[in-house]
Every structure is written in structure tokens, then in C-alpha cells.
Chains A and B, each alone.
Chain A
Amino acid sequence: MSTGCFVLTFDSTHQAIAMEKRLQGIFQAQLMPTPRQITSGCGFAIKVKEAERRQLDEALQGAEPGYHLYLLENGDYIRQ
């Protein structure tokens, strides 16, 4: 997968689907399978371009807990 992007993972599939719908109205969020390197969470993840960090932070304000944000850098997923 391309480097320099954020990946959101979720505790439940319902949360992932709801978040994807929520983010689509703000910027392009790519639904994808949860990367194999990240073992926790449900099967869906959302990829967001690094350049969208500010809008992502705004969108996550007030979101229910149960999501986890990672930065993909040089092949490593760094928990944010």
C-alpha cells in the first residue's frame, strides 16, 4: 500500500461503515480491508491521504470511541 497516509481501524464493522459514510461527505476516504500488520479491530479500515489530516481531525471530533488511527510510514503502521 502507498506510504504517507493514515489508516483508521475500528472495533466494529458498523462503526467502520458509519464512519466511511460520514467522511465521504467531507473528503475522499477509501474503504479497504484492515491491513494484515494490524491485528486488532474489524475487517474494514479507511485510508485517508496524509494531506487530509486537518479535515480528518475535525471529522473525528465528537466521533464515538472505538476507532484507532495509524500513520503508514515506510511500511510501518505507527499508532497515533
Chain B
Amino acid sequence: MEQKELNAIGWQCPKPIIETKKILDSFTEGILTVRVDNAVAFNNLRSFAEDKGLGFSSEEENDIYVVHLQKTAGHDGGGVSGRPVVVVSSDKFGKGSDVLGENLMKSYLYSLTEVNPKPQSLIFVNSGVFLACQDSAVLDTLATLEEQGVEIFACGACLNFYDLSERLAIGKVGNMYMFVEKMNNAANCIFI
């Protein structure tokens, strides 16, 4: 069983995750202790551990987060992710009343901020991309999810179709190849 330490203080994301992954990939079994000095890096490490099925524990010492990641034997540390991928294909939740659907969507996305495990990714396609654009009523909620380590993607073709390419307010632009890979590699894929 190996034991290593990584001092990632002062590093900006995604460097702490990249270096953490490199070390864990070299382990068969062991514990890696990572020190980071900001909440974003800490949350990303927690999401990474959930994503990869690693043991996770942490403590805080003088504004420094000390994170312990445990990899057990037989764990390949990658491949199929345990956290769901959520595909949002409309700006409303369900069919029926538009007003009800808009409010159900607000309620659904807010709920994601409070439950665990978080999705690894939120993928907005078709009219769902409106939710990630300027004037969306859920931008604050999406920003919270992003801080909590959820990746947010909006379909580039859809942004273009709705003439929203200049109005994307959160997340990154993705294409269908990326979405297909994410869906295929997820243990669980949820369509809204």
C-alpha cells in the first residue's frame, strides 16, 4: 500500500485534479493526501473522488484543506463514472402547462444543489440551452452547481439554431461527440 502527499497550495484548477489523477493512476492501492487552499479545488477533489469511487476524507487546518483519497486494489480509477449525467432537452420540465413546467424546472435544478451525489455533468440541448443563457431565471442555481463541481455544457448547434451563441452565460459549449461520450461512459444517464 503506497502513501504519497501532494502540495497543491497556490495551484489553480484544473492543475490539482490533473496532478492528483497522475499520482493515483500510478497506484495499485494506496492513500494520497492532497493539500489545497481554495474551496473550488476542494469541491473538485470531492467530486473527482465520487466520480472515481475513491475513499474520501478531509479536514481543514488554518484555511488549508487536507484531503485524503484512498484507492483500493482492483480499482481501475477510471472508465464508467458513478455520478449521473443529466441531459436537459427543454427549458420546461415535463409536458403540460408551460408555467408549471418552468417552475418545476427551477425546483428540479435547485434540488440538485442540495442532494448528493451531484451529477457529473449537466448537458443542455434543444430549448434547454435557454436555461444557460442571459436572462435565464436559473443562472444563480447553475453557478452554485458549477461551484459544487458539476460540469455544465450547452449544445453549440442548439445555441446557433436559437441565435443564442452570444448569449451563453454559464458553462461551456459542447458538441454531440462530446455528449455521446459522456452519456456512454456514465453509469446512469437522466433525461429531463
List residues of chain A with CB under 8 Å of any chain B CB: 1, 13, 16-17, 20, 24, 28, 30-33, 43-44
User: Which listed residue (B99, B100, B107) contacts A33, Cβ 8 A?
Assistant: B107
Q: Which residues of B contact A (CB under 8 A)?
A: 99-100, 103, 106-107, 110-111, 114, 137, 140-141
Q: List 26 A-B contacts (CB under 8 A).
A: A1-B114, A13-B100, A16-B103, A17-B99, A17-B100, A17-B103, A20-B103, A24-B137, A28-B140, A30-B106, A30-B110, A30-B140, A30-B141, A31-B103, A31-B106, A31-B107, A31-B110, A32-B106, A32-B110, A32-B111, A33-B107, A33-B110, A33-B111, A43-B107, A44-B103, A44-B107
Q: In the complex, A17 Cα to B114 Cα: how many Å?
A: 21
B107, A32: Cβ atoms closer than 8 Å = yes
Q: Which residues of B contact A13 (CB under 8 A)?
A: 100
Bound-state Cα–Cα, A43 to B107, Å: 9
Alpha-carbon separation in the docked complex, A8 to B100 (Å): 18
Closest 8 CB pairs of A and B: A31-B106, A32-B110, A33-B107, A17-B103, A33-B111, A31-B107, A1-B114, A31-B103
Which residues from chain B contact A43 at a C-beta distance below 8 Å?
107
Q: How far is the CA of A16 from the CA of B107 in the complex (A)?
A: 12
Known: A16-B103, A43-B107, A44-B107. 16 other contacts (CB 8 A): A1-B114, A13-B100, A17-B99, A17-B100, A17-B103, A24-B137, A28-B140, A30-B106, A31-B103, A31-B107, A31-B110, A32-B110, A32-B111, A33-B107, A33-B111, A44-B103
> What separation, in Å, do the CA atoms of A63 and B140 have in the docked complex?
27
CB distance from A29 to the nearest CB of B (A): 10
With a cutoff of 8 Å between Cβ atoms, the chain A residues found around residue B107 in the complex are 31-33, 43-44
